[in-house]
Structure 1
Amino acid sequence: MIGNERHSLPGVIGGDLLRFGKIPVILLIAVLVSAVTVVTTTHKTRLLTAQREQLVLERDALDIEWRNLILEENALGDHSRVERIATEKLQLQHVDPSQENIVVQK
């Protein structure tokens, strides 16, 4: 009697897929691999975009600091220029703070 044989449903489905459904199984695997690749690529792209934004903010902060240093350098350069002109052209000298209270009388 053929009717007394018992087959498990997963076994029957697996056997049918292997016999008659090789192309759909291959296509299903390709779709799943493609979906995982898209999700992974999107995640990495978002991480890189966030990192790029962080680097742009850091670059802007460094640019502002660099401009402030240039301004400070120019201000200090102007001071040393004034000091150089005072010593060379006007023959001015630095005052020693310890000798500041001594008055020379003639």
Structure 2
Amino acid sequence: MMGNERHGLIGVIGSDLLRHAKIPVILLVAVLVSAVLVVTTTHETRRLTAQREQLVLERDALDIEWRNLILEENALGDHSRVERIATEKLKMQHVDPAQENIVVQQ
């Protein structure tokens, strides 16, 4: 007799869905998986975009520092500046090559 059999509600619903509604269940699972993948992909895209922005800012800062270092190198390597420091601080004098031979020979 069927009246004495006890079936759980979830078991009855599950077996009924599998027996009569396979395509809708498959579509429901596909939609849920798709939704989770969309959320995961969106999150990863936003994280990578923020990381890229941070790297672009770092690159710009390093670019500015590089330009400043080149300007500083050019300023420190300027011949007139080197000559001025040599004459003022080190008390060096510019020697004429013609006079140098006379001084050395004496």
Q: Same fold (TM over 0.5)?
A: yes
What is aligned with 1:15? Answer: 15
Q: How high is the TM-score relative to the length of structure 1?
A: 0.73
What is aligned with 2:50? Answer: 50
Alignment of 1:35-46 (within 5 A): 35-46=35-46
What is aligned with 2:100? Answer: none
What is aligned with 2:61? Answer: 61
CA RMSD of aligned residues (A): 2.5
Count of residue correspondences: 89
CA distance in structure 2 between the partners assigned to 1:49 and 1:58 by the alignment: 14
CA distance in structure 1 between the partners assigned to 2:42 and 2:21 by the alignment: 32
1:18 is paired with a residue whose SS is helix
CA distance in structure 2 between the partners assigned to 1:58 and 1:2 by the alignment: 74
What is aligned with 2:95? Answer: 91
CA distance in structure 1 between the partners assigned to 2:95 and 2:44 by the alignment: 68
Percentage of pairs with the same residue: 80
Gaps of 5+ in 1: 93-106
